[in-house]
Structure formats: structure tokens, C-alpha cells
Structure 1
Amino acid sequence: MYSKDQASQLKQAFWTAFGQYMGPVLSAEGLRTNWINYKTGVKHIFFRMQADNKKAGIAIEIAHPDPELQQLFFEQFETYKTMLHSTLGEEWKWQLHATDDFSKTISRIYTDLTPVSIFQKEDWPKLISFFKPRIIALDEFWSDVKVAFEA
């Protein structure tokens, strides 16, 4: 078991390593990108990567405070479901109106990897191999559909 401080340091070390690994990778539009804190440019829509001692996950998260508008965003994503899955090369789970770790209502399109632990350095290559192609594919997908969500 790790102290809170040790756990925080290990997480920070992983995300720093991942950021350095992804540094040379340009976005679909040929721009330098902060892959860890990916900016979608659309309020309330986020691309999230997370990892803990049991699993890792990557998601499109819709966090609009109005549940009806959140559902409209979700339904808009559903119209692009085939395109998203084709770009990702796999099918993801779709969850309308779930509750996040802070008890906020969100909607998610996501996939997980288990069992892995961000606290085990020997799992880091698996984590990087999980996150890298998926965040790049999300970026490619987003460069094609973002304009539809900006309106």
C-alpha cells in the first residue's frame, strides 16, 4: 500500500512519462497537442483518461449541467456512432446519465482496460499501449465532427 503522497507521485510520474511519450505526436490537424489535458473546444465535452490500482479508462464525457441538453449532446454523438467505432477500430460502451466520482450527472462513451495498475511500473507499457491509439483516434474523429457540436 502506498501513502497518499507516494500514490500521487507515482500517478504524476506516469502522466509525465505519457506526456513525454506523446509529445512528438501531432494532432489530426497537424498541431502540437496536450494529449493528457485534451481540449475539445466545446464546453461540457471532455476526453478523459484515468487510471488507478485496478483499471484504466478512456472516455468521451458529456458534463452539461442541464440533463436535457446533456441528452441532446449524447444523441448527437449517437448519430456518429458508426463513424466513431470505425475510427476507434472497436466498439465502446454508451452510458446516458451516469453519476461520476463527484456525484454529478454525466453521460459517457467509454472503454476500460483491466486488470492494470498505474502504481505498477511494469503495467505502464500496457497503459501507454491502451491510451495512445485511442486518444489519437478520438482526436481524428473529433477533427471530423467537432463543427457539428459547436453550433
Structure 2
Amino acid sequence: MYKREEITRTKKQFWTTFGQYMKPVPSAEGGRVNWQNYKTGVKHIFFRMRAERNFVSIGIEINHPDTELQELVFEQLREFKKMLHAILGEDWEWKLHDQDEFGKITSMVEKKLKGPSVMNKDDWPQIISFLKPRIIALDEFWGNIKPAFEEL
């Protein structure tokens, strides 16, 4: 079993490594971007990447505190589902009003890969290979649809 400090240290090392690996990659618009802490520029909409002990995931999270508005944003995002899946080249899971590990109600569109562990440095290439093309695709997707969400 891993100690909390070791988990925190290893995750920090991973995200630093990921950030260094992604640093030379420009955004779809050609600018610099902090890939591991991607800013959508729209309140309550986030791109989340997670690397845990038994899975890795990436997704779009909507965490508006008003669940009715959260659902409205989720449904608006669903209007772009075909475009998202075409850019990604795969289908993702759509979850309306799911509960996160802290008990907060969020809605997610995500892709998860079970198995690799952030605690195993031998798995890092697999984790990076999973995250890299998907965060780049999300950036391209977001560049196309962001104006539809800026007024919310």
C-alpha cells in the first residue's frame, strides 16, 4: 500500500513530466497552452485529466451548482456529440448528474482506461499516449464550439 505522501509526490512528478512532454505542442489556434491545467475560458466547464492507481481518464466536466443549468449546458454540449466523437475518432461516455468522489453533482463526458497506474513509472508512456491525443482533440473541438457556451 502506498503512503499518501508517496502518492502525492508521484502524481506531481507524473504531471510535471506530462507538462514537459506537452509543452512544445501548440493549441489548435497555434498558441501556447498549459495542457495539464487546460482553461476552457467558460465558467463551470473544465477539461479533467486524471491519472490514478488503477485507471486514467480524460473528460469534459460541467459542475454548475444549479443542477438545472448544469443539465442545460450538458444538453447544449450533447448537440455537438457527433462532432466531438468525429474529432476524437471514438465514442465517449455521457453522464448527466453523476456524483463525484466528494459527493458533488457534476455532469461528465469522458473516456476512461482501466489498468495503468500512475504509481508505476513503466505505465507512464501508456498514460501519456492515452491522454495526449485526446486533450489535443478536445482543444480542437473546443475551438470550434466555445462561442456557443460563452453566453451561459
For normalisation by structure 1, the TM-score amounts to 0.99
RMSD: 0.6
Question: Which residue in 1 is equivalent to 2:96?
Answer: 96
Q: CA deviation at 1:3?
A: 1.4
For normalisation by structure 2, the TM-score amounts to 0.98
- 1:102 and 1:37 map into 2 onto residues whose CA distance is 20
Question: Which residue in 2 is equivalent to 1:11?
Answer: 11
Q: CA deviation at 1:148?
A: 0.4
SS at match of 2:43: coil
| Unmatched 5+ stretches in structure 1 | none
Q: CA deviation at 1:6?
A: 1.1
| Unmatched 5+ stretches in structure 2 | none
Which 4+ stretches in 1 moved above 3 angstroms?
none
- 1:112 and 1:2 map into 2 onto residues whose CA distance is 22
- 1:65 and 1:4 map into 2 onto residues whose CA distance is 30
SS at match of 1:36: helix
Deviations 1:103-128 (A, max 9, x none): 11000000101111000001000000
- 2:63 and 2:3 map into 1 onto residues whose CA distance is 31
SS at match of 1:150: coil
Amino acid at match of 2:39: K
- 1:66 and 1:150 map into 2 onto residues whose CA distance is 17
Question: Which residue in 1 is equivalent to 2:135?
Answer: 135
Provide the identity percentage: 58
Paired residues, number: 151
Question: Which residue in 2 is equivalent to 1:64?
Answer: 64
Q: CA deviation at 1:12?
A: 0.5
- 2:107 and 2:6 map into 1 onto residues whose CA distance is 32
